[in-house]
């Protein structure tokens, strides 16, 4: 009997989150249609909607229902403009702070320097910049609901703990607890790649997909995995370090200490370094005509430059072998690629896809789709995913409704 109230509260929270999610995704939506999609009784919908309207999280609006003639129908949509949350993206040398409303609309965003060498502690630097940000945009702030942080580091999302961030010499930093005590707000912390993958599953290229793999190819190479709608390793902050799988037996020394890691082959800086070395023997390459950047490299690929195409095909094969193994392990619906190399996807993707078709089980490889991410990982859009997830599962909504 002692556990019964908690169980009932959990059901209520889940139902409120489901209703809010449907209004977010389909609004304006009628109560009747909402009842059908949520598979909840009309009386339950009426009660939940009343609570959401009373707390100004949802509002009524007239809309044209194509299924009926006559007067416009009364529908429901989010009332999100006065609800704000802070997004924090911690990079190597920079800090991005963004203020968004609950619909994810960006109100304002600042990119700030965050040098590794600073007289103040890392935590003091972060909190001072947040305080200054709030001071600059005080006129924009209304109801501040949460803080969401993303960082490319080993983290414990459950405890709000940055376990290891060598660039800033940070270890076992309870940033979530500290900011919660300082602001009274719920604080969400997530690995950058995991947050991006969740974002794509909620409102990006993998929307409505339950099983996805997202490969990130940038300065670093990483992966996010969602299986049956749940993030792999969601509870302990681990990420799948595919960038440190050996793909060349006698390859380049990696920062991790091993030889020939995938990151030494497919990391953007390594790609450009390899191209620069090979230009000596290919003087007529288009890559000799302008400064060598990832953009100029992709342009050369698209223009048919032999050297650039050879390099990107080699990268595609190495990545494709790893992805094929992951297809066999997880049987995803979609494989997303998040990378500046998407600018030359017409060459890169067929190579990766050929590896998948050749090395993965036919039952898995035939149905999987290889697509580009809907957005890149610049700014604070990935940080939105933690807040959206907490709204959709009802946990943050319940706190907001309590005031």
- Residue 134 falls inside a structural domain: yes
- In this structure, the answer to whether residues 91 and 68 fall within a common structural domain is no
Residue 225: the pLDDT is 94
Residue 9: the pLDDT is 84
Residue 4: the pLDDT is 45
- Residue 202 falls inside a structural domain: no
Provide the pLDDT confidence category of residue 1 given band limits of 50, 70 and 90: very low
- In this structure, the answer to whether residues 228 and 351 fall within a common structural domain is yes
- In this structure, the answer to whether residues 241 and 130 fall within a common structural domain is no
Share of the chain above pLDDT 90, in %: 72
Residue 36: the pLDDT is 94
Least confident of 3-7, 270-274, 291-295, 395-399: 3-7
CA distance 27 to 392: 15
Q: Is 374 exposed, middle or buried (0-12, 13-18, 19+ CB in 10 A)?
A: middle
CA distance 382 to 367: 27
Using an 8 Å Cβ cutoff, are 336 and 368 in contact?
no
- Model pLDDT for residues 122-157, shown as the tens digit of each residue: 999 999 999 999 999 998 888 899 999 999 888 999
User: The domain containing residue 112 runs over which residues?
Assistant: 83-197+380-401
- Residue 1 falls inside a structural domain: no
Residue 87: the pLDDT is 97
Does residue 198 carry a pLDDT above 60? Answer: yes
- In this structure, the answer to whether residues 339 and 259 fall within a common structural domain is yes
- Among 25, 56, 78, the domain boundary falls at 78
- In this structure, the answer to whether residues 235 and 141 fall within a common structural domain is no
Mean pLDDT of 253-267: 89
- In this structure, the answer to whether residues 190 and 212 fall within a common structural domain is no
Domain count for the chain, please give it. Answer: 3
**Between vectors from CA 336 to CA 189 and to CA 262, what angle results, nearest 5°?**
85
- In this structure, the answer to whether residues 245 and 216 fall within a common structural domain is yes
- In this structure, the answer to whether residues 240 and 358 fall within a common structural domain is yes
- Residue 141 falls inside a structural domain: yes
Alpha-carbon torsion, ordered 286, 289, 295, 300, to 10 deg: -10
Provide the pLDDT confidence category of residue 343 given band limits of 50, 70 and 90: very high
Quote the mean pLDDT of the chain.
90
- Among 63, 78, 93, the domain boundary falls at 78
Residue 256: the pLDDT is 81
Least confident of 232-241, 283-292, 311-320: 232-241
- Among 43, 59, 78, the domain boundary falls at 78
- Residue 149 falls inside a structural domain: yes
- Residue 129 falls inside a structural domain: yes
Residue 236: the pLDDT is 58
- In this structure, the answer to whether residues 242 and 386 fall within a common structural domain is no
Question: Residue 272 belongs to a domain with what CATH number?
Answer: 3.30.420.40
CA distance 365 to 354: 10
- In this structure, the answer to whether residues 57 and 20 fall within a common structural domain is yes
pTM of this prediction?
0.89
Does residue 355 carry a pLDDT above 90? Answer: yes
Residue 380: the pLDDT is 92
- Residue 318 falls inside a structural domain: yes
- Model pLDDT for residues 72-117, shown as the tens digit of each residue: 778 899 998 889 999 999 998 999 999 999 989 999 999 999 998 8
- In this structure, the answer to whether residues 213 and 140 fall within a common structural domain is no
Residue 209: the pLDDT is 93
**Between vectors from CA 89 to CA 88 and to CA 93, what angle results, nearest 5°?**
125
- Residue 2 falls inside a structural domain: no
Provide the pLDDT confidence category of residue 71 given band limits of 50, 70 and 90: low
Handedness of CA 114, 115, 116, 119 (dihedral sign): negative
Does residue 2 carry a pLDDT above 50? Answer: no
- In this structure, the answer to whether residues 62 and 177 fall within a common structural domain is no
């Amino acid at each position: 009997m002692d556990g019964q109230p908690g169980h009932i509260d959990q059901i209520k929270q889940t139902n409120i989150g489901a209703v809010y999610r449907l209004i977010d995704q389909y609004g304006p939506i009628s109560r009747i249609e909402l009842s059908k999609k949520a598979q909840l009784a009309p009386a339950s919908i009426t009660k939940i909607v009343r609570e959401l309207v009373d707390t100004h999280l949802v509002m009524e609006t007239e809309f044209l229902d194509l299924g009926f003639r006559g007067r416009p129908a009364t529908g429901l949509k989010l009332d999100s403009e006065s609800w704000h949350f802070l997004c924090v993206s911690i990079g190597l040398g920079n800090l991005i702070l963004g203020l968004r409303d609950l619909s994810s609309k960006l109100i304002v965003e600042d990119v700030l320097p965050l040098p590794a060498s600073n007289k103040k502690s890392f935590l003091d630097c972060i909190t001072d910049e947040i305080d200054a940000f709030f001071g600059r945009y005080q006129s924009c702030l209304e109801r501040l609901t949460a803080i969401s942080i993303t960082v490319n580091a080993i983290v414990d999302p459950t405890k709000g703990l940055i376990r290891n961030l060598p660039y800033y010499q940070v270890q076992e930093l309870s940033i979530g607890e500290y900011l919660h005590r300082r602001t009274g707000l719920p604080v969400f912390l997530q690995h950058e790649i995991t947050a991006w993958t969740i974002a794509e599953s909620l409102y990006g290229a993998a929307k409505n997909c339950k099983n996805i793999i997202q490969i990130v190819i940038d300065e670093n190479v990483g992966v996010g995995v969602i299986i049956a709608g749940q993030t792999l390793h969601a509870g302990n902050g681990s990420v799948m370090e595919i960038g440190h799988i050996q793909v060349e037996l006698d390859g380049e020394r990696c920062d991790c200490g091993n030889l020939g890691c995938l990151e030494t082959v497919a990391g953007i800086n390594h790609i450009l370094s390899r191209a620069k070395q090979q230009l000596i023997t290919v003087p007529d390459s288009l890559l000799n005509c302008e400064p060598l950047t990832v953009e100029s490299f992709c342009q050369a690929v698209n223009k048919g430059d032999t050297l650039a195409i050879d390099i990107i095909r080699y990268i595609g094969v190495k990545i494709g072998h790893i992805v094929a193994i992951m297809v066999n392990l997880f049987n995803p619906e979609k494989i997303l690629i998040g990378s500046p190399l998407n600018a030359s996807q017409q060459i890169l993707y067929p190579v990766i896809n050929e590896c998948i078709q050749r090395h993965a089980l036919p039952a898995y490889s035939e149905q999987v789709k290889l697509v580009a991410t809907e957005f890149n990982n610049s700014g604070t859009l990935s940080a939105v995913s933690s807040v959206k997830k907490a709204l959709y599962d009802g946990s943050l909504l319940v706190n907001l409704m309590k005031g």
